Structure 1
Amino acid sequence: MATSTSTSMSSMSTSMTMNMVFTNTHTTPLFSTQWTPTTSGSYAGTCVFLIILAILARVLVAFKALMERHWLDAHLNRRYVAVAGKSPEAGRIDTDPEAKVASLVTAQGVEEKVRVVRTVTHAPLPWRFSVDLPRALIFLVITGVSYLLMLAVMTMNVGYFCSVLTGAFLGELAVGRFIQWNEHGH
Structure 2
Amino acid sequence: MSVFQISSSTPLYSAAWTPSSTGSYAGTCIFLIVLAALFRGLIAGKHILEHRWLDTELDRRYVSVRGKPTESERISTDSDAKAATLVSERGVEEHVRVVRRKRRGGAAWRFSVDLPRAGYVTAMAGVGYLLMLAVMTFNVGYFLSVLTGHFLGELIVGRYAQMEEH
Which TM-score bucket, shorter chain as reference? 0.7 to 0.9
Alignment partner of 1:89 out of 64, 69, 78 = 69
Change (3 A) 1:129 1:174: same
- Residue identity in the other structure for 2:20: T
The answer to whether 1:52 aligns with 2:22 is no
Alpha-carbon distance, 1:145 to partner:
0.3
| Structure 1 unaligned spans of 5+ | 1-18, 101-114
The residue that corresponds to 2:24 in the other structure is 42
Alpha-carbon distance, 1:48 to partner:
0.1
- Residue identity in the other structure for 2:160: F
The residue that corresponds to 2:103 in the other structure is 121
State the alpha-carbon separation in 2 of the partners of residues 94 and 56 from structure 1: 46
- TM-score of the superposition, structure 1-length normalised? 0.72
Alignment partner of 1:144 out of 111, 126, 151 = 126
Which structure is larger by alpha-carbon Rg, 1 or 2? 1
The residue that corresponds to 2:14 in the other structure is 32
State the alpha-carbon separation in 2 of the partners of residues 116 and 130 from structure 1: 28
Q: RMSD over aligned Cα, in angstroms?
A: 2.6
SS in 1 for 2:11: coil
- TM-score of the superposition, structure 2-length normalised? 0.80
- Residue identity in the other structure for 1:89: P
State the alpha-carbon separation in 1 of the partners of residues 106 and 82 from structure 2: 22
Percent identity, please.
57
* Structure with greater contact order relative to length (CA < 8 Å, sep ≥ 6): 2
Q: Contact 1:78/1:119 (CA < 8 Å) preserved in 2? A: no
Alpha-carbon distance, 1:118 to partner:
4.2
Change (3 A) 1:126 1:98: farther
State the alpha-carbon separation in 2 of the partners of residues 154 and 52 from structure 1: 18
SS in 1 for 2:109: coil
